[in-house]
Amino acid sequence: MPDNWSFVAAAYGVTAIVLITYWWRLVRRERELDALRNRPERRTSRQS
């Protein structure tokens, strides 16, 4: 049977892309929430 490296690359590639994308989505959402949490504090400090 031929080695079919392209199928091996496709399987590992798809897995890597999906996992990294999901991880990156988590990181981005965490940063958004952090920014949201810090915003009112800044406003309060400016007012005082």
Partner 1 sequence: MIRTLGWLSVVALVAGLVMSFGVAPREVTQGTVQRIMYVHVPLVISSYVAFIVLAVASFVYLLRRDPRADRVAHASGEIGVMFIGLGIATGSIWGKPTWGTWWTWDARLTSVAILFVMYVGYLLLRGSIDDPERAARFAAVLGIVAALDIPLVHFSVYWWRTLHQPPSLMKPGGFTGSTAILWPLLVNLVAFVILYAYLTARRARLLRAEAEAVA
Tokens, residue 47: 């007012």
Tokens, residue 40: 């009112």
C-beta of 5 vs 47, nearer to partner 1? 5
Over the Cα atoms of the chain, what is R_g?
21
Assess 20 for contact with partner 1 (CB under 8 A). no
**Minimum distance, C-beta of residue 8 to partner 1, in the bound complex (Å):** 5
Interface residues with partner 1 (CB under 8 A) are 1-5, 7-8, 10-12, 14-15, 18-19, 22-23, 26, 29-30, 33, 36-37
